[in-house]
Amino acid sequence: MTEGCIRAAVDAIHSTPTKAVVYLSGGASQALGWLMSLPGASNTILEVVVPYSKNSMTQLLGKVRLLNPACSLHSFFSFLIYGYSYVINTFQSMFGKAGLPVLGVGFTGSLATTYTKHGDHRFYLSTRTCDRLWTSSVTLLKGLRTREEEDRVSSHFLLKAISDACKVSATFSSELYESEVPDEYERQVDEDEELQQIIDGKLCMKIYDFSGDKDTASERMVILPGSFNPLHDGHLRLSEIASRERPSCVEGDIMALSLTSDIPINTEW
């Protein structure tokens, strides 16, 4: 992949409204340089986290999940869920746009190093948007590339994955050998699954875009959040005041988690 193609891809990514958080360890470091060194990086990159040591990985994920935390499927998917949840939870309200496209990116790799590895040289890569989950795993042929060359191959994959997630057209040429076939998987994420992730604590909110002509003024409601257990005079007073603005259009929003204790709440309005 030429430098011109890389620049064109990065420029196209930065021209989109997508905001991304990237969690990366063990490779694809050149992709970060490409993304950050060209003008417009702040249009796309909200945060990049590189937990490289075992202690850093443990601190991020909460515990050692496998014997090789730097490149394992469990840690990889933890990266992805953590990154997507973080960008939703932390940055959505900052920009104040419910329809703002956000992207979580997870990458973990085990590439060539200063000693001969017993296991494969491989990497896992995935992107998550509001409606799409895409993953890919690649096992590289050992001994055919330097560490820098393996890092460049994985960097191309990372850049292409971000381009695809941002829905931009970019020219990429594979630097893999014929036998190095990526194992890719893609599926759409439906609303029920996102709501289940809220219940499971993996996400803290579900973003809905109410812009445009999706509803009329008469259909809009006032939503009052709370546990409503017990329902007291303060709740009723709030409902009364809100009803003056939207008669018969006031609803209670029961939170899945307590704001103070993180204990699941099972209550009714």
pLDDT at 172: 83
Domain boundaries in the chain?
3-199, 215-269
* pLDDT tens track for 56-105: 877 776 654 544 444 555 555 556 666 666 666 666 555 545 557 888 89
pLDDT at 205: 61
Q: Map residue 65 onto helix, strand or coil.
A: coil
* Residue 123 phi, psi (nearest 5): -150, 155
Instruction: Give the number of other CB atoms < 10 A from CB of residue 236.
Output: 10
DSSP string across 127-192: EE-SSEEEEEEEEEPTTSS-HHHHHHHHHHHHHHHHHHHTT----------TT---EEEEEEPPHH
Q: What is the pLDDT of residues 96-143, one digit of tens each?
A: 455 578 888 989 899 999 999 999 999 999 898 878 889 899 999 999
d(C-alpha 173, C-alpha 9), whole Å: 12
| Statement: the pTM of the whole predicted model exceeds 0.85 | no
Share of the chain above pLDDT 70, in %: 65
Q: What is the mean pLDDT of residues 188-214?
A: 65
More confident: 189 or 21: 21
What's residue 68's pLDDT? Answer: 45
For 207-241, how does the pLDDT look when each residue is reduced to its tens digit (9 = 90+)?
555 455 555 555 566 777 776 777 778 878 877 77
Angle at 36 between CA 35 and CA 39, to 5 degrees: 95
Question: What's the one-letter identity of residue 181?
Answer: V
- Architecture category of domain 3-199 in CATH: Alpha-Beta Complex (3.90)
